[in-house]
Amino acid sequence: MSLVTIIYTYCGFYGYITFGSAVQGSVTLNLPDTTINVVVKILLVFVVFFGNVLQLYVIIEMLWPKLKEKLMLQKCRSMTVLLLEYLFRIGVVCFASELILPFTHSSIKYTRYYALAGSVPRYAPAEGGLTD
């Protein structure tokens, strides 16, 4: 996560130095439509798409086994545990997305919600279900 923070800070800092006070809401909006810049924009989409997943995957994998263990001690059915796992994963994604909202412009808030809607299914358990 520190590496991601450093990369975003680097991009923001040098983007502001390059474009000055004329910088728009995202540095990519300032880039002209050349081939290399279009490739950079596409790669940035992949970075955001997979970076969010990787960062939250670690957090979920640290927290969920402890919660699952407590649920199993209460003799919950496996389908109930699976449903609660999905709700937990969705909750973590929503919480992480809500943390950024006070610090963004209103136009970016809507794109965060759309990104959230697309990212929730990616946090599904890798095994596709529970094993007893």
CA pair distance 81, 84, nearest whole angstrom: 5
CA pair distance 28, 40, nearest whole angstrom: 8
If 0-12 CB within 10 Å is exposed, 13-18 middle and 19+ buried, where does residue 29 land?
exposed
Q: Is residue 88 part of a domain?
A: yes
Domain count, the chain: 1
Question: For residue range 46-77, what is the model confidence (pLDDT) as tens digits?
Answer: 777 777 777 788 888 899 999 888 888 888 88
Confidence class of residue 1 from pLDDT cuts 50, 70 and 90? Answer: low
Q: Has residue 28 got a pLDDT over 60?
A: yes
Question: For residue range 92-115, what is the model confidence (pLDDT) as tens digits?
Answer: 877 877 777 676 555 555 555 555
pLDDT of residue 13: 83
The number of C-alpha atoms within 13 Å of 48 and in the hemisphere containing its C-beta is: 14
In the chain, % of residues over pLDDT 70: 73
The rounded mean pLDDT for the chain is 75
Q: Is residue 6 part of a domain?
A: no
Q: Has residue 131 got a pLDDT over 70?
A: no
Confidence class of residue 116 from pLDDT cuts 50, 70 and 90? Answer: low
Q: Is residue 49 part of a domain?
A: no
Question: For residue range 30-43, what is the model confidence (pLDDT) as tens digits?
Answer: 788 899 988 988 88
Confidence class of residue 130 from pLDDT cuts 50, 70 and 90? Answer: very low
Q: What is this structure's pTM?
A: 0.53
Q: What domain range is 106 assigned to?
A: 54-123
pLDDT of residue 112: 55
Q: Is 28 within 8 Å of 44 (Cβ atoms)?
A: yes
